[in-house]
Structure 1
């Protein structure tokens, strides 16, 4: 038998509140992107990773690491994005079995068009509702939790 450290009432309220906050924000951000640009939040996440590199290209394992997605999810999502012309795949000259995921002109145009509305929504739903002190605390908490691997 293990000695499970069950959550007390305060911890449960805090944890459930965090999960609810996350679900609500993700849902609203996804809806805004879909309505305004036809992109999903997952599309946007992939495009952000690619636009953050000077060449607009990454190896699939790099995307998988950055996005924290399962390999099958990434593969299926990239296939859908490729069909829509947002990304392409190119062979890797250094590794005959490897490939690059490459941002296309259409993908760059899509994220360029979607970004202003997305940022406005992030600001309205999140940053505008918090004080500078709350943001600093949230940053400290995020650093502490994410640094605990």
Structure 2
């Protein structure tokens, strides 16, 4: 049996701030979006995927893959967004077994109004703390880690840039 491996001093010095970032950043993003738009970061992410998809719709399983959500989690979120009038479920015309999630005009208005505050929060918390070289290093590190944890490229961000050229951007764009 192999002896257990422990962190080296260098690994520990890297992992502790990364673990703290993984805990604190989502809380900050949620807080801003909840305050400004009554959306969680996940709600915003799902609505963004729909906003930028062809015909503002995605098959439920496709949206689950793009947001890395389980079907039960996504179903719960879609139900909540549906009650608010931000999305609707529609049967697929090409496959009666499939369900599309369609963003409503109100859903588009909400996500587009939320975008400037979200972008400002991300800039303030992340980008303004880094210089250009650090942003490139962060991008490279994130891509390398994503390649390990999402090798199939289920999430759009995990796919190579060339494969993303015609894909959905991370933040919604104006119509």
TM-score (norm 1): 0.93
Name which structure has the greater RCO, CA cutoff 8 Å, separation 6+. Answer: 2
Question: What is residue 125 of structure 1 aligned with on the other side?
Answer: 125
Question: What is residue 51 of structure 2 aligned with on the other side?
Answer: 51
Q: CA RMSD in A?
A: 1.3
Deviation sequence 1:56-108 (CA, Å, 0-9, x none): 10011111111111111111111111111110001111111111000001100
Partners of 2:145 and 2:35 in 1: CA distance: 33
| Structure 1 alignment gaps of length 5 or more | none
Q: Structure 1 residues 55, 3: closer, same or farther in 2, change over 3 A?
A: farther
Partners of 2:69 and 2:92 in 1: CA distance: 22
| Cα displacement (A) at 1:23 | 1.8
| Cα displacement (A) at 1:146 | 1.5
Partners of 2:36 and 2:101 in 1: CA distance: 25
Question: What is residue 7 of structure 1 aligned with on the other side?
Answer: 7
Partners of 2:76 and 2:5 in 1: CA distance: 38
Partners of 2:120 and 2:31 in 1: CA distance: 14
| Cα displacement (A) at 1:47 | 0.6
| Structure 2 alignment gaps of length 5 or more | 152-175
TM-score (norm 2): 0.80
| Cα displacement (A) at 1:9 | 3.1
